[in-house]
Amino acid sequence: MTNIDQFKKMQFNDKKISVVTCYDFWSAKIIDQSNIDAVLVGDSSAMVMHGFKTTTNATLEMMELHVAAVCRGIKSKFVIADLPFLAHRKGKKWLMDGVDRIIKAGANAIKIEGAGDNIPMISHVVNSGIPVMGHIGLTPQSINQFGGFKVQGKENKASEKLINDAKDLENAGVFAIVLELVPNILAEKITTAINIPTIGIGAGNKTSGQVLVLHDLLGMDNDFNPKFLRKYLDGFSLITEALNKYDSDVKTKIFPSIEESY
């Protein structure tokens, strides 16, 4: 089973860390049999699984159900789960109740977006014995403040702020940091400025590892084609083909056959 020591070991040995999102039982069972190092139950579930436009619609109840389903299918991987929109911004009791529910649902670690005045809350979770993964750059829970899914840290001041945010997160005790949608030169600077692994998405190949949304890498959405995404399967076409074949077999009475009948 992957754990936070393995993250450190892989970084130390210059071995890239692979992370993929997962939101349900059946894909968890497949991922569990793969070589992927760790699983993220992202709040992207609000978009991918529930069809919302942003992750701000993710709720604690939603995350709890996805984490529990994933953890029933994952036997051998480290599971990190997002603390959803505002769950860490309504006071310590709310924060810790949320963390408690996600950990009790089966996650091994929590991901919290942002740095700045989130740092004391992140320290509190870490000091409570719970591994925390940071997330900076494009933090989707703040999408309305960013005004869209845009590359972050392009200007000097913004890039310096992100380097300082990464250092603050490291000092707060996070075990790794997701860098989302930042120029690869900045991702490299951040990766060399800190001693914990960086996990990139749209951040080039100088980070300690990569994370992708499972459905994106499987090509499930023909309409989502950002520059950073490599599709490893044409899932949309393959599934449509299979469904149409089933439909045609039903209509032409080829399915079920005698052998498939009792």
Pairing of strands 17-21, 209-212: parallel
Q: Rank residues 48 and 95 by Cβ distance to ligand KIV and give the closer one.
A: 48
Rounded CA separation 101/61 (Å): 9
Concatenated DSSP letters of 90-158: S-HHHHHHHHHHHHHTT-SEEEEE--GGGHHHHHHHHHTT--EEEEEES-GGGHHHHTSS-----SHHH
Q: Does 46 bind ligand KIV (CB under 6 A)?
A: no
Q: Does 134 bind ligand KIV (CB under 6 A)?
A: no
Catalytic residue of the set 64, 160, 170, 180: 180
Element (H, E) at 177: strand 176-180
Least separation in angstroms between CB 67 and ligand KIV: 12
Q: Does 213 bind ligand KIV (CB under 6 A)?
A: yes
Least separation in angstroms between CB 52 and ligand KIV: 12
215: its two tokens: 């459905």
Catalytic-residue membership of 180: yes
Between helix 92-104 and helix 60-73 the angle, nearest 10°, is: 30
Q: Rank residues 121 and 201 by Cβ distance to ligand KIV and give the closer one.
A: 201
Q: Does 198 bind ligand KIV (CB under 6 A)?
A: no
Contact residue for ligand KIV among 79, 136, 162, 211 (CB under 6 A): 211
Angle at CA 43, nearest 5°, toward 41 and 45? 80
CB of 112 closer than 8 Å to CB of 132: yes
Contact residue for ligand KIV among 39, 136, 162, 201 (CB under 6 A): 201
* Amino acid type, 109: A
Contact residue for ligand KIV among 11, 21, 108, 198 (CB under 6 A): 21
* Amino acid type, 63: M
Least separation in angstroms between CB 251 and ligand KIV: 39
Contact residue for ligand KIV among 99, 105, 107, 178 (CB under 6 A): 178
Q: Does 210 bind ligand KIV (CB under 6 A)?
A: no
Binding footprint of ligand KIV on the chain (CB under 6 A): 21, 40, 42-44, 82, 178, 180, 201, 211, 213
Residues with active-site annotation: 180
